Amino acid sequence: MILVFGATGQVARELARLGGVACLSRAAADLTDPAGCAAQIRAHAPRAVINAAAYTAVDRAETEEALAHAINADAPGAMAAACAERGIPLVQISTDYVFDGTGSAPWKPGDPTGPLGAYGRSKLAGEQAVAAAGGVHAILRTSWVVSAHGSNFVRAMLRLGAERDRLTVVADQIGGPTPARDIAAACLRMAETLVAEPDKRGTYHFSGAPDVSWADFAREIMAQAGLACAIADIPSREYPTPAARPGNSRLDCSGLETVFGIRRPDWRVGLARILKDLEEG
């Protein structure tokens, strides 16, 4: 059995749909209680652990950094320590927000980090805590997560596109939209592989292809959904947010394909699947 921290988040819900996992809800494992999270690992004695739970409110983290750090850093550190004690592999989901978003080249796992805000700092601290525990682990940095549930860009665009005939969307932030179902499948394969091949531990990147701007992503959403809403490009400076967003969220995912045989998914195919899921309810 693979133990999953998280039950209602986008990736956790997709992991539950794929099966073969036991998902821990917030009631069962509160990430503000790191010792309690470690106790769950000891009690369940799983083959592997996937941490799909996180504090993801990027803007709110600017005023709740201590809470974000507790959930995104302290809890994964405790999980990693419990896993290391028992020789259990841990897959920790992280984010492109650990980088400063400069340049235009895809970020490689070994590139210097430089988070722009509290959320990115908390996720980077989580990576460091997991690595410091010394156990078998894989850190999977991903970006622009979307699915048929939860709060995400696809659902927001569908709602707004049905209400309006024109939207302005940022066009100078570039990245790879990543369907949560593909992230879940990647995490499962990585976890199972690490059980048998612990030498494949390390930090990896995973995002959808091709890289695109938020504005072009929005256009594809409208086109696939059959909505007539027009998308107008704007620069980031015209859409200010409490937390700065990376301009360059491109990720070099070649390591994941080389080591685990996991290729970048076509997010346009994933988008069609998301729309079908929403249609079917």
Q: Which residues carry out catalysis?
A: 119
- CA dist 276 and 73 (Å) reads 35
Among the listed residues 212, 234, 232, the one whose alpha carbon sits nearest the alpha carbon of residue 165: 232
Task: Give the rounded distance of the alpha carbon of 25 from its chain centre.
Answer: 18
Residue with tokens 């394969």: 189
- For the chain, the 3-state helix, strand and coil shares in percent, each to the nearest 5, are 45, 20, 35
Residue that is written with structure tokens 């995002």 in the block = 207
Q: What is the DSSP letter of 236?
A: G
Amino acid code (one letter) for 243: A
Residues 6+ apart with CB under 8 A from 180: 10, 11, 13, 14, 145, 146, 147
Tokens read off for 132:
């410091």
Task: Identify which of 114, 121, 145, 8 has the alpha carbon closest to the alpha carbon of residue 69.
Answer: 121
Residues 6 or more apart whose CB falls under 8 angstroms from that of 281 comprise none
